[in-house]
Amino acid sequence: MLTADASRADSPFAALRGRNYRIYLSGQSLANTGSWIQSIAQDWLVLHLTGSSTAVGITMALQYGPILLLGAHTGLIADRFPKRRILLATQMANAILTACLAVLTIRGMITVSEVYAFALTVGLVFAVDSPARQSFISEVVPNHKLRGAISLNAAVFQATRLVGPAIAGLLISTVGTGWAFAINASLYVGPTIGLLRLRGLTPRPPAPRQPRAIRGAVEYVLARPRVAWTILLVGTMGSFGLNFPVVLTAMAKSTFHGNASTYGIFNIAVAIGSVGGALLAGSGLPNRLRLIVFACAGFGLAESLAALAPDYTSFLVVLVAMGMVNLAFQAMANASVQLWIDPAMRGRVMGLYMLVFVGGTPIGAPTVGAITNAYGPRVGMLICGLFPLVAATSVAFVHRRAARPVLRSA
């Protein structure tokens, strides 16, 4: 039986007792709000400039392509250099880039080629930022609060999804897309101040220089089946399952004959479910591979049902379910992998994790966009759902037949 202290430690809110985590989370809430504003505005700008879902997919591919090539190497950077300094540098770079995009858009000088260039440059910054950010949380909170902190991060990230799309829709429809980018640039001030205010962190010693360090990280993951299978499922979700924003723009415009506000409402519906899913994942569920597999399959099933939703109301209901299962999966997978590995390997392993999580976007996003253009948004959404459903079913089948002890004990 759990004691009261243990139960409180399992709560995703336990991390809030720490000053550093409160400061960090407050700064990230501002940055996340800006990220959602940026995402909505960028997708809508590309669709406005080109009228093509394929172009939206290409933009996503350019933004997440660099991590496919650099993710493992930037994970090594996160293990060797102070993570806070890395995050300060990447936030400053993002603020400058976004401000430049805002100026070009407000002045009416923006073209789709320049949006592509912006997406690629931001992608390079993201490749450096992501593994450092994923592993930095372990310096802010102790290990026994890590899962709750990651889940609470995810919940706040999705809570800002309730605000960001609404602000973006309002700005786009009133003052224009460029001012949405300008707001995002200004919001980088908050997390930068937050990082500078952190005190008493517990940084890990820098990883020693090793020959073939990247190869060693891959071998380390492959030697731990539950880590390897989780990363495989994360990669499938990232490559196809989570590319549904490419389809949502077309669902809003073509299927339901809406506008940018409709697209924002769709994102809000996903966010409502996501907040609940993230809190569920941090509420004391065990770190088991079986639960991660079930959550992946549940998301694929919900996404497939969304493709078949007969009307606007039922589509919104299924989007809420998608958000809940998606964030439960993401929070459980992220926290479990970090807790299953040695602290000295976190930067490199999380670099590989993020590589497969977002590195598949350059393949999945254009593919989903092309399918959506050719066969319609419902078919595109169905394809997004079938991949994680099949992957989770396959992993469950393989473990039942060949590695049953892993599923039972993981």
Q: Using one digit for the tens of pLDDT, what is the confidence trace for 77-102?
A: 888 888 899 999 999 999 999 999 99
pLDDT at 322 exceeding the cut of 50: yes
Cα-to-chain-centroid distance, residue 177: 23
Q: By CB neighbour count within 10 A (0-12 exposed, 13-18 middle, 19+ buried), where does 406 fall?
A: middle
Taking Cα atoms as reference points, which of 271, 262, 254, 265 lies closest to residue 378?
Answer: 254
What is the pTM for the complete model shown? Answer: 0.72
DSSP secondary structure string for all residues of 94-162: HHHHHHHHHHHHHTT---HHHHHHHHHHHHHHHHHHHHHHHHHHHHHS-GGGHHHHHHHHHHHHHHHHH
**Where is 71: in which H helix or E strand?**
helix 53-80
Q: What is the pLDDT of residues 252-299, one digit of tens each?
A: 888 888 877 787 788 788 878 877 786 776 666 666 888 899 999 999
> What per-residue confidence (pLDDT) applies to 287?
65
pLDDT at 49 exceeding the cut of 60: yes
- Rounded distance between C-alpha atoms, residue 25 and residue 36, angstroms: 16
pLDDT at 148 exceeding the cut of 70: yes
Which residue did the predictor score with more confidence, 99 or 76?
99
Q: By CB neighbour count within 10 A (0-12 exposed, 13-18 middle, 19+ buried), where does 398 fall?
A: middle
Fold of 17-198+213-409: Growth Hormone; Chain: A; (1.20.1250)
125 in Cβ contact with 204 (< 8 Å): no
Q: Which of 142-151, 182-191, 268-277, 308-317 has the lowest mean pLDDT?
A: 142-151
pLDDT at 172 exceeding the cut of 60: yes
Band (9; pLDDT cuts 50, 70, 90) = very low
pLDDT at 406 exceeding the cut of 60: no
What is the pLDDT averaged over residues 109-125? 92
Band (401; pLDDT cuts 50, 70, 90) = low
**Side-chain-side CA neighbours of residue 185 (13 Å):** 16
> What per-residue confidence (pLDDT) applies to 3?
42
Band (118; pLDDT cuts 50, 70, 90) = very high
> What per-residue confidence (pLDDT) applies to 409?
47
3-state secondary structure 1-45: CCCHHHHHHHCCCHHHHCHHHHHHHHHHHHHHHHHHHHHHHHHHH
Q: Quote the tokens at residue 101.
A: 């995009």
